[in-house]
């Protein structure tokens, strides 16, 4: 079967799927919703939606939170078993604009490049309508971060999972998501692994995904905006541990990580110390995450 199947991972999303599905269903052939042990309100909502669209929506309910990577793999395996050509990955807080999928498919066809394995949209933050940044490697340890404009396209180093559309053959060649990462850096690690197999990643400015990056607050420092997330201690542990995993696994092939990942860690530390609550407990979790990331076995990707 050709076409596009979407895999949406949900976690305590409440009724947000009532907004997402009407925007998504006109653009894909099948939707696989994988819930990671959400509360009863969310499960009831998902069961209602799956019943309304029973011919095109498949609901998979996990009793516990298995992590985003394992949940994505559940949906990906379902899509590949039905021989869909593309798999669109989405978070439950992302809303595709009309024509997003068609625009990405058109960009892939126009490229004529069989090594173009991942196509991603332009991310617009739902609250402030600002386009997200994309990372471009310059060679060696150097990289740049650029915003994507409408009408433009960028070859990028890696993208977030939500909104990215992956050709089925990439999973067959590079493997599935690394479930041991659990959450954070799962998408970046997969992108780097795909690139090691020779695939390109293209971000398309005319394809738009409205994306909400969790709970955040904007402060001002010397007149400049500083975006501060509200991640808890557990999330901070995984963020820093997994960055070390990415460095250990991919820095030899992609040296820009030797500069990018430490700078990202430093920037997070500055925001935590300067603006966030529970500083001490978060810093302890970060130290533990860095230590585990340096000595623990790097999780391997799942295979079909």
Kindly state whether residues 196 and 242 are assigned to the same domain.
no
Out of 211, 241, 268, pick the residue that ends a domain. Answer: 211
- Indicate if 65 and 144 belong to the same structural domain: yes
- Whether residue 289 sits in one domain with residue 141: no
Please check whether residues 129 and 251 belong to one and the same domain. Answer: no
Q: Are residues 99 and 233 in the same domain?
A: no
Please report the pLDDT score of residue 276 as a whole number.
85
Residues 195 and 230 in one domain: no
Query: Does a structural domain hold residue 284?
Result: yes
Q: Is 228 domain-assigned?
A: yes
CB 171 within 8 A of CB 80: yes
Are 152 and 70 part of one and the same domain?
yes
| pLDDT value of position 212 | 72
Spatial distance between the Cα atoms of 107 and 121, rounded to a whole number of angstroms: 11
- Per the domain annotation, does 303 fall within a domain? no
Residues in the chain predicted with pLDDT less than 50, given as ranges, are: none
Q: Identify whether residues 124 and 149 lie together within a single domain.
A: yes
Domain for residue 304, yes or no?
no
Domain limit, last residue, from 183, 211, 239 = 211
How many domains are there within the chain?
Answer: 2
The DSSP code sequence of 163-208 is T-EEEHHHHHHH-S--GGG-SSSHHHHHHHHHHHTT-EEEEEEEEE
For residue 86, give its domain range.
Answer: 4-211
pLDDT for 275: 83
Helix residue ranges, H only, the chain: 17-24, 40-52, 68-81, 100-111, 168-174, 186-196, 233-250, 257-275, 279-295
**Structure tokens, 291:** 């230590």
What pLDDT is attached to residue 200?
Answer: 98
Whether residue 19 is contained in a domain is answered as: yes
pLDDT digits (tens, 9 = 90+) for 237-276: 999 999 999 999 999 999 999 999 999 999 899 889 888 8
Whether 300 is in a domain gets the answer: no
302, part of any domain: no
Predicted pLDDT of residue 1: 59
**Do residues 157 and 189 both lie within one domain?**
yes
Q: Which pLDDT does position 213 carry in this prediction?
A: 62
Q: What is the CATH number of the domain that holds 98?
A: 3.90.550.10
**Residue 202 sits in the same domain as residue 275:** no
Q: Looking at 211, 243, 258, which one is the last position of a domain? A: 211
- Per-residue model confidence (pLDDT) at position 128: 66
Q: Which tokens in the block code for residue 48? A: 């209602």
Q: Residue 9: what are its φ and ψ, rounded to 5°?
A: -95, 130
> CA 96 to CA 56: how far, in whole Å?
17
Q: Is residue 301 part of a domain?
A: no
88 & 197 share domain: yes
Quick one: 39 and 132 in the same domain? yes
């Amino acid at each position: 079967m050709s076409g596009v199947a979407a895999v949406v991972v949900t976690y305590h999303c409440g009724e947000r799927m009532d907004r997402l599905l009407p925007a998504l269903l006109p653009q894909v052939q099948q939707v696989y919703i994988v819930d990671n042990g959400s509360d009863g309100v969310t499960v009831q909502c998902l069961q209602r939606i799956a019943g309304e669209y029973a011919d095109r929506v498949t609901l998979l309910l996990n009793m516990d939170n298995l992590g985003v990577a394992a949940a994505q793999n559940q949906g990906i395996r379902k899509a590949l078993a039905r021989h869909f050509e593309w798999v669109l990955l989405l978070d439950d807080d992302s809303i595709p604009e009309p024509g997003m999928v068609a625009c990405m498919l058109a960009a892939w066809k126009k490229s004529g490049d069989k090594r173009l394995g991942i196509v991603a949209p332009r991310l617009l933050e739902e609250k402030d309508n600002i386009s997200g940044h994309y990372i471009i490697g310059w060679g060696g340890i150097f990289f740049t971060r650029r915003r994507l404009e409408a009408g433009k396209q960028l070859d990028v180093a890696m993208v977030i999972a939500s909104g990215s559309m992956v050709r089925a053959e990439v999973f067959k060649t590079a493997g599935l998501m690394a479930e041991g990462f659990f959450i954070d850096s799962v998408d970046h690690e997969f992108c780097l692994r795909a690139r090691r197999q020779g695939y390109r990643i293209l971000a398309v400015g005319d394809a738009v995904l409205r994306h909400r990056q969790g709970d955040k607050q904007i402060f001002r420092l010397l007149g400049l905006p500083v975006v501060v997330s509200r991640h808890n201690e557990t999330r901070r542990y995984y963020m820093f541990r997994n960055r070390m995993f990415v460095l250990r696994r991919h820095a030899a092939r992609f040296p820009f990580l030797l500069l990018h990942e430490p700078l990202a860690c430093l920037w997070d530390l500055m925001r935590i110390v300067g603006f966030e609550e529970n500083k001490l407990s978060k810093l302890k979790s970060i130290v533990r995450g860095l230590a585990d990331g340096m000595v623990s076995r790097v999780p391997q990707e799942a295979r079909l």
